[in-house]
Amino acid sequence: MNYLSIKDIDSIEDWVKEARELKQAPLKYKQLGSDKTIGLLFFNPSLRTRLSTQKASQQLGMNCMVMNFDKEGWALEYGDGVIMDQGKSEHVKEAAKVISQFCDIIAIRAFAGLEDKDLDKAEVVLNGFVKYASVPVVNMESSVGHPLQALADAITLQEDKVRLNDKKPKVVLSWAPHPKALPHAVANSFIEMMQRQEAEFVITHPEGYELDPEVVGDSTVEYDQNKAFEGADYIYTKNWSSFREYGKVISKDVSWTISEEKMALTNEARFMHCLPVRRNVVVNDAVIESENSLVIKQADNRTYAAQVVLKKILESI
Ligand code: AN0
Ligand code: CP
């Protein structure tokens, strides 16, 4: 069993329930992973994913090895039949097989390059490992998805929404400005997760920031951020670069920054963000520091999202 996208979850409701049970008793399955090893391979930086996945594996009794592949590993080739006389020292065909001998599970972080849409959609790194590894693979944010984040977000929403007394929540995914071009992965997986929730779900962004139509499907898109925020119970904020003008920053419009004035348009909405976040660019200090900010809880739930995923994989091997 691999965990590559939200599609690998058979029942989000059941997984969230199980994650919340693990949160109550994190060491209950300490025997399950004894004598098993997970290898976390990072091709990009991380704080939360790295520490929460490590912690989750340890709470399941596993050994955990972490490798910053971009800095410590050989530069990998992924193409078939390539004459490797340039910068790449090793092929994923060997690397994945070798790592599979040391690890019972391989987890990979490899962001989108944001230069070539087709290359990113092909998930060259993640799928290279899936193809040539002989052990299960976990996605710790790939070119097009961040399913551990979206599962943690589902847990956070489930915990918080009790305050709404069974009212169907209005959840808004809002683009916000950012100086650098960022990937679509977090937004994509959040959308895929929300499409499977009982909620009124609205995506809002400036014109030109439409996400992959294959992901958005028939989800509602509202170009007027103020209108989208009306009556919202949750504002989930994320910057992403343009998908159409692939990887480009086409607007840094600060009127999209999440401010107290914007939050005042909502139904006392809770503010959510996956972190890391640039303060006073994406969200103002007052909003992220307010009592309605869930960002620290979201990060905490990353441990239990990872733990339920690893538990299910361990049970399958
Ligand atoms: C990354 C992104 O937007 O995909 C990771 C988020 C979890 N963020 C940055 O690069 C700032
Ligand atoms: N949210 C998240 O994945 O954070 P890191 O990039 O710090 O792991």
Query: Around Cβ 7, how many Cβ atoms within 10 Å?
Result: 10
* Residue having the nearest C-alpha atom to atom 5 of ligand 1: 276
List Cβ neighbours of 156 (8 Å cut-off, separation of 6 or more): 272, 294, 297, 298, 301
Q: Tell me the mean pLDDT per 10 residues along the chain, length 317.
A: 98 98 98 98 98 98 97 96 97 98 98 97 98 98 98 98 96 98 98 98 98 98 98 98 98 97 98 98 98 98 99 97
* Residue having the nearest C-alpha atom to atom 6 of ligand 2: 46
Residues of the chain with CATH 3.40.50.1370: 6-145+302-316, 147-298
Helix (H, G, I), strand (E, B) or coil at 271: strand
* Residue having the nearest C-alpha atom to atom 1 of ligand 2: 274
303 CA distance to ligand 2 middle (Å):
12
Mutate to test the pocket of ligand 1, among 182, 188, 243 (most ligand atoms within 8 A of CB): 182
Nearest alpha carbon to residue 103 among 60, 131, 71, 65: 65
Residue 274 Cβ inside 6 Å of ligand 1? The answer reads yes
Give residue 268's pLDDT: 98
Mutate to test the pocket of ligand 2, among 294, 302, 309 (most ligand atoms within 8 A of CB): 302
Amino acid 66 reads V
Q: Is 32 exposed, middle or buried (0-12, 13-18, 19+ CB in 10 A)?
A: middle
The CATH class given to the 6-145+302-316 domain equals alpha beta
Give residue 241's pLDDT: 98
Give residue 151's pLDDT: 99
pLDDT tens track for 177-217: 999 999 999 999 999 999 999 999 999 999 999 999 999 99
Q: Is 123 exposed, middle or buried (0-12, 13-18, 19+ CB in 10 A)?
A: buried
Q: Please say whether the beta carbons of 290 and 254 come within 8 A.
A: no
Distance CA 313, CA 317 (A): 6
CA 276 to ligand 1: nearest atom = 11
- From the CA of 152, the nearest ligand is 2
45 CA distance to ligand 2 middle (Å):
8
DSSP secondary structure letters along 137-204: EEESS-SS--HHHHHHHHHHHHHHGGGGTTPPPEEEEEE---SS---SHHHHHHHHHHTTSSSEEEEE
Give residue 304's pLDDT: 99
Distance CA 171, CA 198 (A): 10
Give residue 310's pLDDT: 98
CA 186 to ligand 1: nearest atom = 4
For the record, the structure tokens of 113 come out as 């390059």
Enclosing H/E stretch for 229: helix 225-229
CA distances from 218 to 52, 189, 201, 270 (A): 33, 15, 11, 25
CA distances from 196 to 125, 161, 271, 274, 309 (A): 27, 16, 21, 19, 18
Topology annotation, domain 147-298: Rossmann fold (3.40.50)
Q: What are phi and psi of 116, to 5 degrees?
A: -125, 110
307 CA distance to ligand 1 middle (Å):
22
Q: Please say whether the beta carbons of 281 and 253 come within 8 A.
A: no
Distance CA 9, CA 152 (A): 13
186 CA distance to ligand 1 middle (Å):
8
Residue 182 Cβ inside 6 Å of ligand 1? The answer reads yes
Give residue 309's pLDDT: 99
Nearest alpha carbon to residue 310 among 13, 11, 39, 25: 39
240 CA distance to ligand 1 middle (Å):
9
